[in-house]
Structure formats: structure tokens, C-alpha cells
Amino acid sequence: MRQSSLVVIANRLPLDDNAAPDGACEWRRSPGGLASALHAILEQAPATWVGWAGGVGPAPALPDIGTLRLQPVSLTEDDLRGYYEGFANSTLWPLYHDAVQQPTFDRGWWETYRTVNRRFAEAAAAVAEPGAAVWVQDYHLQLVPAMLRELRPDLLIGFFMHVPFPPPELYMQLPRRVELLRGMLGADLVGFQREQAAHNVAQLAKKLLGAHATDDAITVGGRTVRTGAFPVSIDVAEMRALATRPDVVSQAGQLRHSLGAPKRVLLSVDRLDYTKGIEHRLTAYSELLRDGFVKVRDTVMVQVAVPSRERVESYRDLRDRIEGEVGRINGEYGRVGEPAIHYLNQPFARSDLAALYLTADVMVVTPLRDGMNLVAKEFVAAREDGAGALVLSEFAGAAAELEQAFLVNPHDVDGLKATLLRAMEADGEDLAARMSSMRRHLTEHDIMAWARAYLSALDHSGRLAERLTAL
């Protein structure tokens, strides 16, 4: 088995399977996200990425992506139900997002979650060279750091939580709260999107483990785990390059024309998830239509909602509710050839997303809770023209950085309506000033800066510096 000095473990591999023209399955590096985030650094290590390739049954043989090796972990149908759909996405995901949807505590799922976490830990242990750095990602794999430490005490172990980490009152509901906390604290460095999360973990470590804990470090079992905030970002240069490509700019013009050349385009782009606040947003928009503040003739809303986790009942129910509501709003307020909402339930290429961002006068990003929300950052990165307004939920991690957005509490539908109107009516100078300071922030805080900040903090003693030359 080939070994690496840097190993990333995430539930998903940075891959999409696409049908090749002859119908065969063809693997491609997935666009955006963590894959491109880490690409520049992973290229230099060389590194291995351990993850699930999607689907069930034996893991497929996968080609390297450049110098990045892929180590697939297989899941059975039962694993998929108990680990991915069950414990990860029906217990932890809703609980960690402020329980905006009731979490399900099913005792059967825990064993599967633990078994699958062990499988990931073993796969990583097998490909990590002596003294390597292993970087574990997200809530799916919260037990992996401690398991890995047990298997390979020589490793430098990092854990990064992409989603929020909840306040103690909520976390305390978890039947397996102690094991999960101990699992994560198996790492040398635990990173979060926001400082509040590190504070929450410190409180819990004191309460549940009797640890000595501050917001930067937790000492438990004679070992000190460092914690901190490392807000994740996007590949700003990639989004800028896309959004200034002549074909993308002309596609944006074409899109506006196809939308009926309205005075204003409102855009939302989400995974179809109950944390994204899509229903609250639709309520606000439909009331603006009802009360005559917005007219279908001159304002158009585009809602992109890409299907997600569709085997989980709460996601299917949400889709039914949203589609019912979009149908109702279009039935009530649309005109022939002029729907009030253009609803697109499909994945788009990065260049199509860039064209959509360019078309938007108001980007509406109103999750009820979100670890970061990369869409908000992508929109800002795309707007080289300095135009466009960003309406952003206070409950998205991005709000801590994009302070010049029109910040809003999405639970407050009246406040949301007022903020939408303010953003629609803002003058160009105000918008340009807001956009320019948000863009400045993003330029300095792109995805490379994030990865570099995290990995240098992980390797603070410099023991891997030679091997991680990209740092």
C-alpha cells in the first residue's frame, strides 16, 4: 500500500461519477468545495484522500487525480441507512443546526455509525506514513480522531467541523454525547467555523469530562487539544475567472432576457435542505406579492434548489412542501409567460452558477442556521462589477465576515420582507461600497488562506513543514 505524509478523510471523495458518452461510468474531480480547496496543498504533499465514492457495495477502483491518491471506503445498504442517512443526517445534522428539524434518536444507528467510523479510521491508518498529518472532516466522522489516535499514536491528527457546533443545552440531548465528545477530542487540533463553537465545546468538556478547558485549549486525560475558529472559504480566483469569461457574461445577459428583462432579479441557490430557510423566504416573497410591494411584471425570483439526501423522509417532505408552495405562488400571482418564481431543482455547472450570480440584483441567502454558506461568498466573488445586493442571514457563519451584507433574522418574516425591500431599493453607490469591502475581505480570506491557516496551526511545532512545502 502506498503511503502519504498528508491524509484527508471526509465522508465523500472529491469525485463525481459522470456517464461517459458510451454509457460507462467516468470519474471526475468534483467542482468547487473542499476538493479544489485543498487541491493546491494536496498536490504538493503528495496526499491521499480517504472517502466514500457514493453508492453501495464494493468500492470501485479509482484513478489518481494528478498526484492525489484516492482511497475509497465502501458502504453497504445497512451502513448507508444507519450511518449516513441515520445518525449523521437525521440525528447530528438537525441537532447541530439548532434542531430546526426534530432530530431522531434511533438506538440502532449508533452501532453502525461507530462501525463505519472505525472503517474510515482503519483505512486512513493504512495509508498514513509514520508521523503523517491526518485531517478529518465534518460531523460524519466525529469518532475518527480518537480511533485513529488509538491505532496510530505517531500521527498528527486534525479535525475540522464544517457545520455549527451547538450550545450545551442542545448537545446535551444526544444519547451518546460523551463518546462523541471524546471522539472529536482525540485530535491535536479541533477547528470550527466560528469562535462560539470552540466556546461551546469548552463548556461541554468541563461539564461532561471534568476537563480543564478554555476557548483555545482543552486538557483531558493528560493531553491538551487545541481548538479554534478557521472560517472556511472558496476559490475566489476561480469564481472571478468564471464570472469575467466573455461567454459567461453573455450567458448572464441572455438569462436576464429569458426572464423577461425584469427590473429586478432576486436569486437564491441552495441545497434543498430544511436548514436553508427556503419556506420562510417563500412566505416573505409571497406576502410582498400579495401586498403589492412587488409586481411580477418588474420583479422575478429565481430559486435554485438542488436535490439532496432524497432517501431521507424529512428531505422528501420538504421538497413536496416547497414545490406545493411554489405552485401556489405561481398559480396565484403569476401571469401567462410570467411566473412569479422560477424554480430549478437541478444541478448546474460552475459556469452556469457564475452566470446566475451575475444576473442577480439581490442574492437572498437566508438559512435558519448554516456553518458557513459558501453560496454567499461565491456571489460576492463573482461580482467584479461591484453591483448587486446580498441579503444574508445572521445565522450563517458567513455573516461574521460579510458584515456589509443586508443582515437579517430569517425567522422574523416581517423583518425579512423589510430587508428584501431595502436591498431592492438600495442605491448603486451604497451597494458598490458594501460590495467592495466584502470583496476585499474575501480576497485575503480565500480557500488557500483557510487551508494554510488550519494546517500551519495543526503543525505548529513545524515537524511536517518540510513535507508540506505548499504551506
Catalytic positions are: 162, 370
Residue 186 to residue 146: CA distance in whole angstroms: 4
> If DSSP codes are grouped into helix, strand and coil, which group holds residue 402?
coil
Site string for ligand ADP, 377-396 (x = CB under 6 A): -x------------------
Q: How far is the CB of 269 from ligand ADP (least distance, A)?
A: 5
Nearest residue to the partner ligand G6P, using Cβ: 162
What DSSP element (H or E) covers 17? strand 15-19
Task: Identify whether 246 is preceded by a cis peptide bond (ω within 30 of 0).
Answer: no
Among 306, 407, 413, 457, binds ligand ADP (CB under 6 A): 306
Residue 317 to residue 384: CA distance in whole angstroms: 38
Q: Which amino acid is at 39?
A: H
Among 347, 385, 415, 440, binds ligand ADP (CB under 6 A): 347
| Cell numbers that stand for 132 in this block | 503523517
Size of the site for ligand ADP (CB under 6 A): 14
Counting contacts by CB under 6 A, is residue 138 touching ligand ADP?
Answer: no
Per-residue buried b or exposed e for 144-176, using 16+ beta carbons within 10 Å of the residue's own CB: bbbbbbebbeebbbbbbbbbbbbebebbeebeb
Among 7, 163, 180, 376, binds ligand G6P (CB under 6 A): 163
Do the Cβ atoms of 398 and 381 come closer than 8 Å? no
Within 338-396, where are the H helices? 350-359, 374-382
**Among ligand G6P, ligand ADP, none, residue 309 binds (CB under 5-8 Å by kind):** ligand G6P
Q: Near ligand ADP by CB under 6 A, which window of 80-88, 175-183, 242-250, 373-381?
A: 373-381
Decide: residue 334, CB within 10 A, 0-12 exposed, 13-18 middle, 19+ buried: middle
Residue 335 to residue 245: CA distance in whole angstroms: 34
Q: How far is the CB of 194 from ligand G6P (least distance, A)?
A: 14
Q: How far is the CB of 309 from ligand G6P (least distance, A)?
A: 5
**Among ligand ADP, ligand G6P, none, residue 54 binds (CB under 5-8 Å by kind):** none
Among 304, 341, 381, 390, binds ligand ADP (CB under 6 A): 304
What DSSP element (H or E) covers 442? helix 428-444
Q: Which residue has the cell 466556546?
A: 199
The nearer residue to ligand G6P, 9 or 296, going by C-beta atoms, is 9
What residues line the site for ligand G6P (CB under 6 A)?
11-12, 138, 162-163, 308-309
What residues line the site for ligand ADP (CB under 6 A)?
32-33, 269, 271, 304, 306, 347-348, 353, 372-375, 378
